[in-house]
Structure 1
Amino acid sequence: MTVAVNHLWSVAAAKARFSELMEKAANEGPQTVTRNGRPTAVVVSVEEWERRTTRKGTFADFLLNSPLRGSGIDLTRDDQPPRDIDL
């Protein structure tokens, strides 16, 4: 994982300068918080979070735009009844 050095915050620095951390996340992009030198969390602006988590289209749209559409793949269901199992 590559992270820009000026966007790295230790937990202690993030706690001590939380307002600055939030401001930088809003204005400069995601900020990475590290614990013991390892990336642990990322602080992002609300706008960035909504952009990344907002669904774009429906499941049907996804399927219609699939690269597998028209590929000839057989997705028909088997009409055989399920097998009997002993529980």
Structure 2
Amino acid sequence: MWTVQDAKNKFSAVVEAAMAGTPQQVTRRGRPAVVVVSMEEYHRLLASAVTARVSFADHLMAFPSEEIERAGARPRDVSF
């Protein structure tokens, strides 16, 4: 794990470690901020995310309607 200042000062080492297959975590003010990964790992993660993605319509259709009924949420009558 690197602080931002250390990562700036030793950027080449951060890049080398990431390219060797070890993601490098960088903190800012003591809190996790970013992770540096190799381009190969980035593309692998991106492809995995795209493969797992479902359409918005499929996402809505998967919403459990019985959950709403169990919660007692029912639409109310509205007159215009």
Fold equivalence (TM over 0.5): yes
Which is helix-richer, 1 or 2? 2
CA, structure 1 residues 57+20, in 2 after alignment: closer, same or farther (shift >3 Å)?
same
CA, structure 1 residues 44+58, in 2 after alignment: closer, same or farther (shift >3 Å)?
closer
Moved beyond 6 Å, runs of 4+: none
Gaps of 5+ in 2: 63-79
CA, structure 1 residues 24+57, in 2 after alignment: closer, same or farther (shift >3 Å)?
same
How much is the aligned-residue C-alpha RMSD, in angstroms? 2.5
- Cα deviation, residue 29, structure 1: 1.5
Residue deviations 1:8-62 (CA, integer Å, cap 9, x gap): 00000000000110000111421100011110011000000000001338859xx
Secondary structure class of the residue paired with 1:42: strand
Identity of aligned residues (%): 41
